[in-house]
Structure 1
Amino acid sequence: MGSVLCFDLGASSGRAIIARYKQDNLELKEIHRFSTETLKEDKKTYWNFDHIMNEIKIGIKKALKEDNDIESIGIDTWGCDYGWIDKNGNLLRNPRSYRTEIPDKVIQEVHKKISSEKHYEICGNAYFNFNTIYQLYYDINYEKIFSKGAQEFLFIPNLIYYKLTGKKIWEYTIASTSGLLDAKNKKWSNVIFNKLELPLEIKGDITYPGEFMFSLKKEIMEELKITKKINVTLIAGHDSACAVIGAPLGESSAYLINGTWSLLGIESDKAITDSIGYKKGLVNEGALNKKIRFMSMMIGTWILQKLRSEWKEARENIEFKNFERLASQSKISGEIDITDKFLTPDNMGNLIKEEYLKKYKIQVEEKKDILKIAYNSLGNRYKESLDLIEKLSEKEIKNIVLLGGGNQDKFLIKTIKKYLNLPVELGPIEASVTGNALVQLMALGEIKNIDEVRKKIVEFK
């Protein structure tokens, strides 16, 4: 059996990882890591796309030097962002980053044309001001992007795919982050495009993971001195969709991706877009086999990361490995509500103390207590989300599969078990890479039944 090369790009760094499946085991080996650099221009943040492509080429060269049996390449990235292609097929400019704030008036204009309630009823996306729908509207109406030569837009993983193969693709899972799809029929929403007067010609038909494999284009092969044929497989382009593919889910399972953001949800055959989901910010996004990930997207281990950085700045260098010991020493109970103010606090520790004092009239000072409150509050937030998902989906959840880097935090796992009161199964830490690899291996015919393989994922090294 051959190997596959997985590119997993996050908003701060990217990795190239070789995956090989043999004897019911998936072996992963990282061979290249790089930053996903940004550039500043006119107070806006753009992705340095030439840098990203150069690092991908370096990753391919390193991978082939390490393993000459590589048969396929797959790319997953963060959601929402895209690049514009001109009539000659060239990238018009660097893709703007979601970190660039879209003016409130743009969002207000969008929802004068289509109400936020109607928009959610169609696409099932919660409101985030960086969603593609607002970025596109801004480009077209404020930056007059068509007068500058723009013709079509491609999401970041599809843009990389295009640069490697010459083929333009609009893949389902990454497109589902845009606020432009009809969640029920899993295609572009003509209603949304027409209401916002967005030209239908700026995109092509939606395609689905595993449907296409195209070889590296001749120019890339010559540049990298590649003599054998290597395909680029259309995988789930969105990293969290890949992560869920990499989860050993059963019919009654939920998943929880523990990262800077936490994603808690289920796989569903249908979109769920009722008004309660709209009010509570639940999300419908694409999954493998045209399914839906119905989930809550919330602040996750960012709280713990921010506490660590603040203590480090204060020259109290407490590592994550010490968090379990500290939090275990605390006798404090209770939790606080994690709201949007926890995204950009002046000081996370002080905010936790203030909110706890406000709720319980108890002054907290010790780090062990601050940590315990943070963990408890995450656990409580997960419980609230799970209860709502069960209610709206009319599905009883019998176990939860934990994915991602949070699986290394034993106290977080202990807290999740306490608050959710469900059996907990640990899926792969490298969940996105696992899902990336599985779709490639399925497309190559090396895996016949991906659901059977998922059940064995807990054993993957």
Structure 2
Amino acid sequence: MAERCYLAIDLGAESGRVIAGLLDGRKIRLDELHRFANGPVHLGDTMRWDVVRLWSEIQTGLAKAAQKYGDSIVSVGVDTWGVDYVLLSKKDEILGQPYHYRDPRTRGLMDAAISQLSRKEIFENTGLQFMEINSLYQLLASRRSSPELFDVADRFLMMPDFFHWLLCGSRVVEFTNATTSQCYHPTQKTWAFDMLRKLDIPTHIFPEVVAPGTSLGQLRESVARRSGLPRLNVVAPATHDTGAAIAAVPAALTGSTKWAYISSGTWSLMGIESAHAILTPKALELNITNEGGIDNTYRVLKNIMGMWLVQQCRKSFERHGASYDYGLLTQIARDAKSFRAFINPDSPLFVAPEDMPAAIRTYCQKTNQEVPDDEGAVIRCALESLALKYRQVLERLEGLSGEKTEVIHIVGGGSQNELLNQFAADACHRPVIAGPIEATALGNVLVQARTSGELSNLADLRAVVRESASVRHYEPQNSAAWDDAYARFINLPALPA
């Protein structure tokens, strides 16, 4: 069977890519056509996204795709991180430079919202984990600081939906990303309009929500002309990168094996796939989130401060004259002494520190632990703490679902960290299957392939992943030592920033 080509525009917090997925009906291979840097831009005292530059890079990638694959390209779709958004006017003007989710403007606004509506009411209306980065609190921040924007705002588009608008003119929001906003009602399956009105957030800006796999229209004629592409179909994949990644977990849908997943990248998103949102008082107490998935499933999960800890340590080491690639960082962590000190990865101290190693040392000092004294000890502290956090979250997820997990799938870029994979198996006492690395791009293009009719269902999609992707297996080791470490870890506080 001749290969058909699907284009994934995959935007992450550190980089963006335009990737071709070549599917022959049974196996898929990926070809990275264009990679470019991403990250916050500091404007005055604010953190923003440079969406104009990102769009320029995307068009460069599209032109490369046209040159290499031409008429074999079937469709294109975008996935990005969650929570961030763009406001458009009725005349399609961008209103302001879009904020980065780590911008400090939302500090205190989660508590302000809870003072108006209870945590219970907000959770029942959204099913989402309480985090100050959520779109809800970003909108409240803009309502306070720049109320004039809402006098002219006509559409709230989340980041991937904004790039779909640039591609084809669509003005809708896709389900998996809508559910990251804390503005979407998980049982009514629409925006939480009553809650939004109570918080004085204009509701007219919220557009139709569409399912993953929806055809959004043809590529704009102007984009096609500049790039050399035909008028491709633009398809909304699972536009939240984690939603796309979980679609590409190589789990069999038959049999009784229960599995959990970790989408490992800047964030570690650990969860289970559920037929419905879990909105129980216990889920609220544990601050669990319910985010949308493929085929009306929900990703019942916890956002964990993931490889961000290591990424920011690496940048700090470089600023101080020590250059490490990620492989070398892993090696020096492996050589460091085990179980010296731990951090609570979700402490506000680690959200946006000026110096991550200093923040880790401060946390250890304030909690009366041994302070990591070199780079290897700092990285080992971070990785061991992440693995112990995985165990804590796994226990809570199993308590909510009433089912014991038999295996953990780790997908995404962080699945390349063999030391963390082994730590996760050890801490959780579960086998770990690591891979595919490119889960997000695979999920993106395979959802497009299903829309085109080349695949029939989610089982077909995951079967292609199992046929195509290489994975590594890790068996639990050293259980007693990890149990002792966990007994210390679970009593650690979440210190304020």
Relative to the length of structure 2, the TM-score reads: 0.85
The 3 A distance-change label for structure 1 pair 57 and 318 is closer
Partner of 2:74: 71
Which stretch shifts more, 73-82 or 113-122? Answer: 113-122
- The structure 2 residue matched to 1:403, chosen from 408, 411, 416, is 411
Using the alignment, how far apart are the partners of 1:99 and 1:368 within structure 2? 27
- SS of 1:203's equivalent in the other structure is coil
* Structure 2 residue aligned with 1:300: 306
Q: Which runs of 5+ in 1 are unaligned?
A: none
Shift of 1:86: 1.5
Query: Does the alignment pair 1:60 with 2:62?
Result: yes
Q: Which AA in structure 2 matches 1:198?
A: I
**Contact conserved, 1:335 with 1:374, CA < 8 A, in 2?**
no
The structural deviation recorded for 1:13 is 2.2
SS at match of 2:295: helix
Which residue among 235, 239, 255 is the counterpart of 2:241?
Answer: 239
C-alpha contact 1:249 1:255 (8 A) present in aligned 2: no
Aligned residue number for residue 425 of structure 1:
433
User: For the Cα contact (< 8 Å) 1:335–1:380, is it kept in 2?
Assistant: no
Code of the aligned partner of 1:21? L
Mapped partners of 1:458, 1:335: distance in 2:
38
Change (3 A) 1:93 1:337: closer
TM-aligned CA deviation for residue 136 of structure 1: 2.0
Query: Displacement, 1:181?
Result: 0.9
Choose 139-148 or 154-163, whichever is displaced more.
139-148
Which position in structure 1 is the counterpart of 2:261?
Answer: 255
String of CA shifts for 1:294-326, please: whole Å, max 9, x gaps.
Answer: 111111222333333344444343433234443
CA 1:149–1:343: 2 relative to 1, 3 Å? closer
Distance 1:357 1:16 in 2: 44
In the alignment, the residues of structure 2 paired with residue 175 and residue 231 of structure 1 have an alpha-carbon distance, to the nearest angstrom, of 22
The one of 86, 101, 104 equivalent to 1:101 is 104
Whether 1:131 and 2:134 are equivalent positions in the alignment is yes
Q: Deviations along 1:242-292, whole A, 9 cap, x unmatched?
A: 111111234611101222211110111111123333333321111111111
Q: 1:165 to 1:107 in 2, by over 3 A?
A: same
**Residue 89 of structure 1: how far off its partner (Å):** 3.1
Q: Which amino acid aligns with 2:67?
A: K
Give the alignment's TM-score, normalised by structure 1.
Answer: 0.91
- Secondary structure of the structure 1 residue equivalent to 2:283: helix
In the other structure, the counterpart of 2:489 is none
Consecutive unaligned residues of structure 2, counting only runs of 5 or more, are 470-497
The correspondence for 1:383, drawn from 391, 404, 416, is 391
Q: Which among 27, 31, 34 is matched to residue 32 of structure 1?
A: 34
- Greater shift, 2-11 or 299-308, is seen at 299-308
Contact 1:427 1:458 in 2 (8 A): no
Distance 1:34 1:324 in 2: 24
Contact 1:427/1:457 (CA < 8 Å) preserved in 2? no
State the one-letter code of the partner of 1:284: N
How far apart are residue 140 of structure 1 and its match?
Answer: 3.5
Change in CA separation of 1:30 and 1:110 when aligned onto 2, cut-off 3 Å: same
Contact 1:438 1:450 survives alignment (8 Å): no
Q: Deviations over 1:72-127 (max 9, x none)?
A: 00101111121222222333333232232225464444333322232122212122
| SS, match of residue 276 in structure 1 | helix
2:281 to 275, 280, 302: 275
Distance across 1 between alignment mates of 2:107 and 2:422: 41
Question: Do the aligned partners of residues 371 and 61 (structure 1) sit closer, same or farther apart at CA in structure 2, a change above 3 Å counting?
Answer: closer
Which stretch of the first structure deviates more once superposed, 213-222 or 404-413? 213-222
1:289 aligns with 2:295: yes
SS at match of 2:214: coil
- Tell me whether 427-436 or 36-45 shows the greater mean CA deviation: 36-45
* Mapped partners of 1:172, 1:155: distance in 2: 11
What is the deviation of 1:459?
4.3
Partner secondary structure for residue 242 of structure 1: helix
CA RMSD between the two structures: 2.6
C-alpha displacement at 1:219, in angstroms?
A: 2.9
Correspondence list, 1:134-153, <5 A = 134-146=137-149, 149-153=152-156
Matched residue, 2:116: 113
Q: 1:189 aligns with which of 173, 192, 207?
A: 192
The C-alpha deviation readout for 1:311-360, integer Å capped at 9, x for no partner, is 44443434332344434444533652413323345654455556557767
Among the aligned pairs, what percent are the same residue?
Answer: 28
Q: Give the number of equivalent residue pairs.
A: 460
CA distance in 2, matches of 1:359, 1:135: 32
| Residues 18 and 362 (structure 1), Cα distance of their counterparts in 2 relative to 1, 3 Å cut | closer
Larger deviation, residues 321-330 vs 292-301: 321-330
Q: Deviation per CA, 1:348-398, whole angstroms, max 9, x where unpaired?
A: 445555655776765654554444333322211110010001001212211
Alignment of 1:289-368 (within 5 A): 289-333=295-339, 336-338=342-344, 339-345=347-353, 348-349=356-357, 352=360, 362=370, 365=373, 367-368=375-376
Structure 2 CA distance for aligned equivalents of residues 300 and 410 of structure 1: 15
